Amino acid sequence: MTSGFVDAGIQVVAGIDNDPRCQATYEANNPGSTFLLADVCELDECCFEKEFGLRKNDDNLVFIGCSPCQFWSIIQTDKKKSSKSKNLLHEFRRFVEYFQPGYVLVENVPGILRRKEESGLQTFIDELKKRGYVVHYDIVNLADYGVPQSRKRFSMVATRVLDRPPFPTKSSKQKTVRETIGKLPAISAGTKDETKFAHTAAGLSEKNLQRLQKTKSDGGSWLDWRDEPGLKREKYTGSEFKDNYGRMYWDKPAPTITTKFFTVSNGRFAHPEQDRAISIREGALLQTFPADYEFKTTSMASSARIIGNAVPPYFAKKLAEAIIEGRKNAGK
């Protein structure tokens, strides 16, 4: 979100996260924006007045809440690990009610809307409306807004400054994998790029390399070798999990870039032609990070976690531009 808003011309005062592994990457790419390493549940509302000079009822102030959302995801994961973060929307609400900023943005998984009573979303929206905000929210596929991947998200924009919430218009056509990563140099599985570009690809076991060699280019899947002795997956005989070990399609948006995009066994994350998973840089580009965005981490998994968990910067930029345009049209 910071990257996209800054690119649109909006000053980002600070970003808050309790994960120290994000700090070096945030600070390296967002000079002028403070990384506040903190648990928002333990922060007092007035700390932003003292630390950053924020004012209450500032029409120019934008609050953005992108809390961890695994608990509300429809993906079958261990919910015990994510249960601690399930109520972060309540914590965000504290700050919104204290400062009453001109704009409030929330980005999350679609599941937060499907369970809006339990997640606190309905209460949050009702309180915004009581305070004079107009609210727009929807489940959107970011492929419709210029992001080269199919990524469905809950997106909400509320404002007490304009008559209607600003929101981006859809793109005229979807952007493809080929347009995004088609011109990058060919590399092999296990390539380690020591430069800031990080065109680094995970290694493959001999069996998985043979599997990819048997997988058709441009959208092939494990069904291409399901009956091959020594290669077939013993537990799967039908079309279950058909995207695992699958190749991306050149002329379609990518599938959702998750935190595991650098491994072929976790989804359709194999390169359309080359026998490897997509690289760290390819995943970042498909998430619309700038080509010069630097990931200051100690492992591929850490970089992939930052990339996969991010709001695509291009969509963030479109949200910011919609706010700017809405203010301009209203003469604010």
Computed over every residue of the chain, the mean pLDDT equals: 91
| pLDDT score for 82 | 45
Mean pLDDT of 30-47: 94
What is the spatial distance between Cα 247 and Cα 37, in angstroms, rounded to a whole number? Answer: 38
**Residue 275: pLDDT over 60:** yes
Can you say how many angstroms the Cα of residue 104 is from the centroid of all Cα atoms in its chain? 18
**Residue 83: pLDDT over 50:** no
Amino acid at 291: A
In this structure, what token pair is assigned to residue 318? Answer: 């479109």
69 is catalytic: yes
In this structure, what token pair is assigned to residue 204? Answer: 């493959």
Residue 330: pLDDT band (50, 70, 90) is confident
Number of neighbours of residue 194 by Cβ within 10 angstroms: 7
What is the spatial distance between Cα 100 and Cα 56, in angstroms, rounded to a whole number? Answer: 6
Domain ranges of the chain: 2-173+312-330
Amino acid at 12: V
Q: Are 57 and 100 in contact (CB under 8 A)?
A: yes
**3-class DSSP string for the chain:** CHHHHHHHCCCCCEEEECCHHHHHHHHHHCCCCEEEECCHHHCCCCHHHHHHCCCCCCCCCEEEECCCCHHHCCCCCCHHHHHHHCCHHHHHHHHHHHHCCCEEEEEECCHHHHCHHHHCHHHHHHHHHHCCCEEEEEEEEHHHHCCCECCEEEEEEEECCCCCCCCCCCCCCCCCHHHHHCCCCCCCCCCCCCCCCCCCCCCCCHHHHHHHHCCCCCCCCHHHHCCCCCCCCCCCCCCCCCCCCCECCCCCCECCCCCCCCCHHHCCCECCCCCCECCHHHHHHHCCCCCCCCCCCCCHHHHHHHHHHCCCHHHHHHHHHHHHHHHHHHCC
Cα three-residue angle 166-63-284, rounded to 5 degrees: 80
Which of 41, 47, 66, 69 is flagged as catalytic? 69
pLDDT digits (tens, 9 = 90+) for 138-195: 999 999 999 999 999 999 999 999 999 999 999 999 999 999 999 999 999 999 999 9
**Residue 85: pLDDT over 60:** no
Q: Which CATH superfamily is domain 2-173+312-330 in?
A: Vaccinia Virus protein VP39 (3.40.50.150)
Q: Are 65 and 44 in contact (CB under 8 A)?
A: no
| pLDDT score for 185 | 97
